[in-house]
Each structure stands twice: as C-alpha cells, then as structure tokens.
Structure 1
C-alpha cells in the first residue's frame, strides 16, 4: 500500500510505495501538517489504484524523478497488481450502462415526477455526450466540456440555461460518477469541480394593501384561490392538489396531502410538507364561497370548468400576469404569494416555529435566512424596541437599573405615563366588581 511518511532529518513528507517489486520513495517539499498529509494521501491512493489496474506511468505522477526515465513512458503490469486483467477497459461498463443501473437502484426513493425528470435528463442530456464512454475514459476535461456545452443549450424563452439549472445537472452527473468510481475503485473526474455562482432568488412579497388590491380586482371565479394562496402560504402544487376531503370546516383545518402539476398527482415536496394548516376567517370564507360555486361532481377544491385541477401554467399566463399589469404591479411569479404569507405571518408577531410548520419547513433556518430582512419594514423601525427596553431599564442617561414598580414608572415619559393611566382606568372600568358579603 502507498503511504505518506515524514523524513526524520528534515520533517518533510514523502510518498512510500512499491512498484515492479521495488520500493519507491518520492520526496516532497511539504511540511508535516494534517492538511498536507491529507493531500498527499489522496495522491498515494491514486497511485495505488493505477498500479493495481496496470495503468501506472511513473512520469505522469513524478515527471522530475530520476526513476521516471528509467521506468519509461509505458505502463506495464506490476507484480503488486492483484489482478491486472480485471481492470481492463473492456470490462468496465460505459457511462450509459452504469447510469441505467444507478437509475434502477435510485428510483425507489424518488417521487414520480423526479423519476420522470431524471429519465428525460439521462436520455436527452447525458447519454448523447457521455453515454458511450467507458467509465475510466471520462476525464475531468470531458466533464468541464460537458458543462460548457450545456451552458449553450436553450432553455425557456430561447434563453441559455441558468446557473441554477446547470448546477443541478452537474450535481446529478457528479452523483452518478462518484457512485461508479467508488464501485470500480476509480478517481472521479467530477470531484473538486465547483458549482457556478448563482444569483440570489429575488423575494418580492406583496404588502397587505397590495394583496387586498389583487383580491378585489381578480376575476370572481379566481378570488377564493388568491385568498387561500396569499394567506396560507401553500405552494402552487399543494393549492392545486386540494380536495374537499382535505377541508375540515368543523375544525377550521386544512390538510396538505398531495401536489398536482402537469406531470400528474404526486407526493408533497418533503415529509414535513404533509401538514395541517389552521384556517383564518378570511380563508374559511373563501373556501365556503368556493364550495357554493364548485361543480358538485368534482373532488378538487380549485378546478377548471371541466372539473379538473387548476392548470398552473394556464393560470399564470391568462390570469396572473394580466392581473399584475392591470394593477401596475411589478411582474413576479405566483410563487411570491407564498412569500407574502410568510412575511405577513412573521410581521404580525407569530412564533417563527409555528410559521415554519404552517409553511412546511422542518426548521426555522429558511425563515431567518430568506425573510428576516422584510420584517422591520413591515412592523417598526429596526432597533426601536431594543432602545425602548434599555431606556426603561437604565434611563436615557445610562443610570443604574431601577427596581420595583415605582422605579419603572419613574423611567417613563409623561406621554407614556398618561397612556399607562388610561389603560389602567379602562381595565378597572371593564373589570367585574364582586358583591360585598
């Protein structure tokens, strides 16, 4: 086995391995640090694999070494190779063959739509370029050339693919190559290739006034649909996939059980996305209005005139974008209705953990990362509450903390004292006075 050791005299690292029955020790100028040992161990592992497969060429790894000239430029089977014939390129599968195995093994954990999407990606994008190459023939240059080629492909609207889409394709390709190379003891050519820099997704929630304008202006048959999406935070597929059996009018609850798209019915995005959402009065009224006007023979809450679920593309192009143009609002996709619900819930002071559960997130991380910058703009000027707390506790001049009720009252301004007295008077007026015994 190839190993990494340090010289006793200099402390510098070297690679120690056996090739053609001889012990080879190649010196480096790297100091003995954990990082350098890790780097050299990866190189040592590659050397050992190449020797084991009978494809090791000394000059490829150590071109300046005196051994490189003596060993020549061609690889020959080493006595240390366990089975050179087993590493023959003829016995290694092509990318297409292994990808089919990988697809068959992975599809059991995928949703139906993702399975269909992955099948299409393999057939249209991966196989035409890499399908006939043997696994050990795919180089880092091939992977980079593949990325450059797909970057020139036309996406929606005739535009080139976005960095997000390219990174997604590269992540799928990397998953296949890493799995293949792990099984056949190869070095993956996709390792170390960094993703392209993506633009941050623009969050453009509507204000409460803008939401009211949308609701009052949209076609009456789509008014309940907008109310539900703006005030529940349902994803597009989740809203379109609602059935009347999911609506509990007695308990004021909505059960999210499925999604619907042009690809057909499917499971929710994650297990956390299967959830129960409380109905606020406006949402309940919207469901009741929709129920009164719904087709009696349709199980879907929001449906087309033929009783089928709402078509997201049709709604977006024929209802949503014309509505925004009519109101003079900035163009944005319907998904921003979900962001609107999230920002309004947080701005109203709801517990972030509760908001995360309503939106179908497993943690609050997404809320603080995506929406936090909108909250100060929707409530009060950022920092005022903190200043008020410090002022009440220490005084504006930084005097020591006051204690007791009298001290807190003394720290209040005249206007604040009057407001407090008015509130106390109101409480006393409304309180029930017990009868004297």
Structure 2
C-alpha cells in the first residue's frame, strides 16, 4: 500500500513539519524530522485501510504541532497506550437455565412416558427446591434427602448430574458438581410388581376370570382378563393392541400405550424390544373370535375402555380388579401378576426358559433370575 502524498518543497524535499505514514513489516509507523533528528513513531496498528486512516490523523496532529510550535518533544502526546484487555467476568448459568436447555434437547428423543414420569417430575422438584446455583450442589442434595423419598431423590440427583455432564460437554460449565453424589443415596428394597413374583394359582386364575364374567359391573373386562392370563403380555401392550395385529396364527406386539403430558398415547415399540410374535393356540383363537365385533376395523383397539378410548389400567386396577378380588376373597395382587402367572405356569409345564422368554419379551437370563424361586420348587426327578 502507498502512503498519502506529502507536501514537497520546490527542491523536492519534504517541507518542515511533514510527517509520513510508512509500513514496516506490515505495521504502520510515522516518520518525520524535528530538531535536526529523524523520528520513527509506531502507530501500533496493522497496514489496513482503517489503520491508515488512524495513522494519518495522528500524522496531521504532529505536523500541526510542529508548524505551530507546540510539538511535544517527549512524543508522549502522540503515543496511544494499548487498550487494556476487557476482563469479562463470566457468570455461571443457574441450574434451571441449564435444565431448560437440557430438556429442549431431550424432549424430542425420549419416550413420552419417560418425559412425563422423569423429566417433568424432576422439573417440578427443581422448581420447589430453593437452591438454584451450581455452587449449591450439596445444599440441593440435602434438600432432596429431606423433602423426597429415597428413590425420587436419587433419580433427581442423577438427572441433575446428567444435565451438568451434558452442559460440560458443550462448554457451558467447567465441572459437574453432582458427579457421584447419587451414589450416597441408598434405596431400600421395596416391592415392585415387575420383579416381585407372586403369581396366582390355577384355581385363583380361573376364579378371577369367572368373577369378572359374573360381575354385573365389570363383566365387560372379562376378555381382557382372559387375554392377560393367556399371553403374559404387559398391560400396556394389551392396551395398544389393534385388530390389524391379529393374524390367523399369531399376535404381533409392536406398540404400547403410555402416559404422557398429553394424556395416554400410543408408542411404537415395546419395553425391551421393537416387536415380538406370539402364537395363537386354540384357547386364544376362541377368545379372540368371540370377542371381535362384527364391524371391527383393522385400526380399532382390541381392548378399548368402556368409553372406546385407551384402557386406563390405573382405574381398572383400583376399581374393577380390586372389587372382584375382594368379592372372591383372593389376596390382592396387581394385574401385572397375570404376566408372572403365565410365565410361572409355563415353566411348571416344562416349557424351556428360552421359549418362555421369547413369548413374553424377556431374556432367558431375566427369566432365570426372577423366577429362580419358582424353579427351585421343582422336585429333582428320579433317574
């Protein structure tokens, strides 16, 4: 780049007070003579159009001071101190801010039930917790331990740890203050209808089916109760079954009804697999043939509620199921035990663990682990 024209004397030499803008190693300098000496003054800017404009302004100031006799021989007046770097104190985001961003990422990819029973529940916990900053992690832990039961407290701390782990990966925070905290929360062993194996006997099973058949209020649910005992499917899978899933020889389980923030919705896929096929035997074929309405469409639910909507198993369990068992004098167990009853009776009939696991959508290892007590009751055969 070329410096601006500077005034010349008739002899061709720069006139008194002329200040030239020059470039040296791509940095701008001012060159001029004063008091018989040549001076070089760094502008501190690169050789760019903007830099040239600033340098020329400073050159004009020096030139004017020389001509008017106000030149600063120390040059301090013409030196611009480098700007001090602006120190920005970064404020750590609050936990609710991080949690909101985390939930925005997770909502589109998690199952509706997980969103409702996990993320929404933990959002509620966080809203009630008075501590909101990362530095308050221990206070949040203490609050959870004193205001929540052990299981939801552990899930809450685990959720916050997952959130902060995500935030750290995305350079939103420097460290995860919740890392490892959930390990300090011990969960007492409680009854879980998914793993607490307490099956009905064959006599109890038949009595329950007959009890629904003969009940003036709940006879409507008899086909559903039979189906649960005959297939060992999960209640959510029965609720999501449509007639298009029933073929001549098989039932295709590939969706389930789950609770979401928008109510009960149909979700593709099952709890432990994408789909599974269950063979229809004579007993099951008779049940489905008798139960199917003559005008049923392929998209119709096989087991709708009495209002034609998705089955609400919470209401079914607390009303119909509970009432029938109480009337029969049978010790109360949840409808999920129909699944355990089917599995247990299959094993008692000598059907292989791998085959039973395939029918109900579990691994053989899970069947062995949870039904070991049932298998232990088998007598060793005499060889």
TM-score (norm 1): 0.59
Q: Partners of 1:169 and 1:267 in 2: how far apart? A: 27
Match of 1:256 among 253, 256, 280: 253
Change (3 A) 1:263 1:169: farther
Report the counterpart of residue 207 of structure 1 in structure 2: 201
Structure 1 position 373 matched with structure 2 position 370: no
> Which of 144, 147, 150 pairs up with 2:145?
147
Deviates further, 258-267 or 222-231: 258-267
Q: How many residues align?
A: 283
SS at match of 2:357: helix
Contact in 1 for aligned 2:168/2:176 (Cα 8 Å): yes
Deviation of 1:116 after TM superposition, in Å, equals: 3.3
Please, what is the CA RMSD of the aligned residues? 2.8
Higher helix share: 1
8 Å contact from structure 1 (residues 256, 276) kept in 2: yes
Q: Which protein has greater RCO, CA pairs closer than 8 Å, 6+ apart?
A: 2
Instruction: Provide closer, same or farther for how the CA distance between residues 85 and 101 of structure 1 changes in structure 2, counting only shifts above 3 A.
Output: farther
- Structure 1 278/167 Cα, relative in aligned 2: closer, same or farther at 3 Å? farther
Q: Deviations over 1:249-308 (max 9, x none)?
A: x2x211112112452222334351521111232222111121147867970111234322
Deviation at residue 337 of structure 1 after TM alignment: 0.9
Contact kept in structure 1, 2:237 and 2:270, CA below 8 Å: no
Deviation, structure 1 residue 353: 1.7
Greater C-alpha Rg: 2
Query: 1:273-422, aligned counterparts within 5 Å?
Result: 274-292=275-293, 299-361=300-362, 363-377=363-377, 380-381=378-379, 384-385=380-381, 388-389=382-383
Where does residue 196 of structure 1 map in the other structure?
186
TM-score by length of 2: 0.66
Distance 1:172 1:213 in 2: 44
Bigger Cα displacement from structure 2, 112-121 vs 212-221? 112-121
Show the counterpart of 1:186: 175
In 2: Cα distance, 1:145 partner to 1:269 partner: 36
CA distance in 2, matches of 1:218, 1:190: 51
Distance 2:227 2:346 in 1: 14
Instruction: Tell me the secondary structure at the aligned position of residue 91 of structure 1.
Output: coil
Aligned to 1:69: none
Q: Supply the distance in 1 between the matched residues of 2:295 and 2:287 (Cα, whole angstroms).
A: 12
Instruction: Give the Cα–Cα distance (whole angstroms) in 1 for the partners of residues 87 and 284 of structure 2.
Output: 69
Counterpart for residue 240 of structure 1: 239
Structure 2 unaligned spans of 5+: 1-84, 214-218
**In the TM superposition, what are the counterparts of 1:77-156 in structure 2 within 5 Å?**
88=89, 90-129=90-129, 133-135=132-134, 137-151=135-149
Q: Distance in 2 between matches of 1:317 and 1:106?
A: 33
Quote the residue 1:429 is aligned against: none
CA 1:287/1:345 → structure 2, altered by over 3 Å: closer, same or farther?
same
Deviation at 1:241, TM superposition (A): 0.9
Distance 1:84 1:186 in 2: 25
SS state at 2:184 partner: coil
Q: Secondary structure at the match of 2:129?
A: helix
Assess, with a 3 A threshold, how the Cα gap between structure 1 residues 167 and 260 changes in structure 2: closer, same or farther: same
- Contact 1:111-1:267 within 8 A present in 2 as well: no
